[in-house]
Amino acid sequence: MSTNGLLVPYYEHPSVRPAEWEAILAAAPRLYGVVLNPASGPGDRPDPAFAEIAARLRARDVRVLGYADTDYARRPVAAVIRDLVRHHDWYGADGAFLDQVTSGPHGFDHYRRLASAAWGAGIRTLALNHGVAPHPSYARIADVLVTFEGTWDTYRTERPHPWRSPGTRLCHLVYGVPADADPETEARTRGAALHCAVPGTGDHPWGTLPHAVTVG
C-alpha cells in the first residue's frame, strides 16, 4: 500500500476539535485526502474555520473532498452540484465525496450525469461511497470507490470481494476498530488501496480519528 493510503472523513468542527485537526494536518504525508463536511454538506454560508483548515490541507498537497449526500439517486443532480460548487468556491475543494450512492446498474445513468456535471464544475477527484461492492460500471466515472463501510467485526468476517478495477482506487471505511488491530493489512488483503479505520461506534463514528493519526 502506498504511504498516502488514508482517506479521512472527519466530521467535527475545527473550533471544537482543534487538536484533532492539527493531528490530521501533521499526518499529511500519509493522507490521500480529507473529506470536508461542515454541515452535512457545505452549509448555507462559508465557515471561516473550515476555510482555514482546507487551505492548510491544500498547502500540504492533501486533496480536499467536499461532502455531498446523493440519497441513493433520489436527490436531484442540480442540488448535489450546488453543494459541490459551494465546496469549490468557499473551501477550494478539488474533489468530491458523494455519499449514499447506489450500487446496482439501475442507478448508473444518474451518477454518470452527476459525474459529468461535477467535472464541468471543476471537480478533479470523484469518490463514490457505495458502502458495498458496486456494479463494475461505476469504475468508469470514479477515481475512488468505497466498497465497504461498516463495523470491524463485519469487516473481519466478510469474505473479500474478488472484483478489481484497474485505474480506480478502492477504499474501505471501518469503524469500531480496536487499538491493536491491523486495518491497513486487512485493507490490502481485500484489494483496497485506501482505507480509514476509526474506534468510534454508533451513529457518529466519523467524529473520531483513525488509529493511524494520533493527537499530540
Tens-place pLDDT, residues 72-111: 999 999 999 999 999 999 999 999 999 999 999 999 999 9
The secondary element (H helix, E strand) that includes residue 7 is strand 6-9
Q: Which residues contact 32 (CB under 8 A, 6 or more apart)?
A: 2, 4, 5, 6, 7, 63, 169, 194
**Residue 1 in this model has a pLDDT that exceeds 70:** no
Q: Is the pTM of this model over 0.75?
A: yes
Tens-place pLDDT, residues 101-136: 999 999 999 999 999 999 999 999 999 999 999 999
Bridge partner residues of 99 (DSSP):
69
The per-residue pLDDT for 3 is 61
Residue 194, helix vs strand vs coil:
strand
**Residue 162 in this model has a pLDDT that exceeds 90:** no
Tens-place pLDDT, residues 12-55: 999 999 999 999 999 999 999 999 999 999 999 999 999 999 99
Region of 142 on the Ramachandran plot (φ > 0 left; ψ -120 to 50 alpha; else beta): beta
CA proximity to 29, closest of 47, 4, 54 = 4
CA proximity to 144, closest of 189, 106, 104, 196 = 196
Rounded-to-integer distance, Cα 35 and Cα 133, Å: 20
Tens-place pLDDT, residues 172-181: 999 999 999 9
